Amino acid sequence: MELQLALDLVDIPEAKKLVAQVADYIDIVEIGTPIVINEGLHAVKAMKEAFPQLRVLADLKVMDAGGYEVMKASEAGADIITILGVSDDSTIKGAVAEAAKQGRQVMVDMINVKNMEERAAEIDAMGVDYICVHSGYDHQAEGKNSFEELNAIKRVVKHAKTAIAGGIKLDTLPEVIQAQPDLVIVGGGITGEADIQAAASRMNELIKQG
């Protein structure tokens, strides 16, 4: 099981400062959608240059032109690029084909997918690398989480790695770990803590214990 730090509400210098504190405790650093919107793919490039030992995920949440978007993110240095599960199959297949060409990986974000098990099985068969259940900020504000959805995709996904994101904190991490995803994605549960390093270190410890 691995840990991904999601960076969303910061700019490039702040993002680099945060990662410098926790780089030893994380496996993947995510350049979140708000950063990409505010700063562009330069943020991905800057993070990869500053921390070449970490895998960098570009959370583009691609909905169309999968191949093209994966190509551009790959050029910027992204190791993993997110595509939406609600996209057309052709978008996901285009992203997978381009990622294979570029030696990168595709994560499908299942945010807002209604028929979770059926769609996860379809997407798994398309050869994606990760399938991620996700309660976004707006869902979190309504009190939702994706713990049940993780169990649902684990029942049907045979090839891809499974991941979970959305509002995970130290006190809910044990429940997440119990469901055994391959990857746990945490943003505010680390960056919102007074002692960021201690939070990341403790989460890393629990995750590595599995």
Ligand X SMILES: O=C([C@H](O)CO)[C@H](O)[C@H](O)COP(=O)(O)O
Q: Which residues pair with 56 in a beta bridge?
A: 29
Asked if 185 touches ligand X (CB under 6 A), the answer is yes
Asked if 2 touches ligand X (CB under 6 A), the answer is no
CA distance 24 to 2: 12
Within 47-66, which residues bind ligand X (CB under 6 A)?
Answer: 59
CA distance 69 to 75: 10
* In the complex, minimum distance from the CB of residue 10 to ligand X, in angstroms, rounded to a whole number: 12
Asked if 145 touches ligand X (CB under 6 A), the answer is no
Asked if 167 touches ligand X (CB under 6 A), the answer is yes
Count of positions on this chain that bind ligand X (CB under 6 A): 17
Decide if 59 contacts 82 (C-beta within 8 A): yes
Binding span for ligand X by CB under 6 A among 10-18, 69-77, 151-159, 179-187: 179-187
* In the complex, minimum distance from the CB of residue 101 to ligand X, in angstroms, rounded to a whole number: 26
CA distance 49 to 53: 9
- Give 114 or 158: the residue with its C-beta nearer to ligand X: 114
- Give 97 or 202: the residue with its C-beta nearer to ligand X: 202
Interface residue with ligand X, options 1, 2, 8, 202 (CB under 6 A): 8
- Give 59 or 98: the residue with its C-beta nearer to ligand X: 59
Binding span for ligand X by CB under 6 A among 21-29, 50-58, 124-132, 163-171: 163-171
- Give 10 or 46: the residue with its C-beta nearer to ligand X: 10
CA distance 106 to 89: 14
Tokens describing residue 8: 């969303």
* In the complex, minimum distance from the CB of residue 169 to ligand X, in angstroms, rounded to a whole number: 8
- Give 10 or 71: the residue with its C-beta nearer to ligand X: 10
Q: In 8-140, where do the E strands start and end?
A: 28-31, 55-62, 80-84, 105-109, 130-134
The stretches of 4-80 forming alpha helices (DSSP H) are 12-22, 33-39, 42-50, 66-75
Tokens describing residue 198: 């201690």
- With a CB cutoff of 8 Å and minimum separation 6, the contacts of 148 are none
Asked if 189 touches ligand X (CB under 6 A), the answer is yes
Using CA atoms, how far residue 140 sits from 135, 166, 179, 194, in Å, is 6, 7, 20, 21
* In the complex, minimum distance from the CB of residue 69 to ligand X, in angstroms, rounded to a whole number: 16
Q: Which residues bind ligand X (CB under 6 A)?
A: 6, 8, 32-34, 59, 136-137, 165-168, 185-189
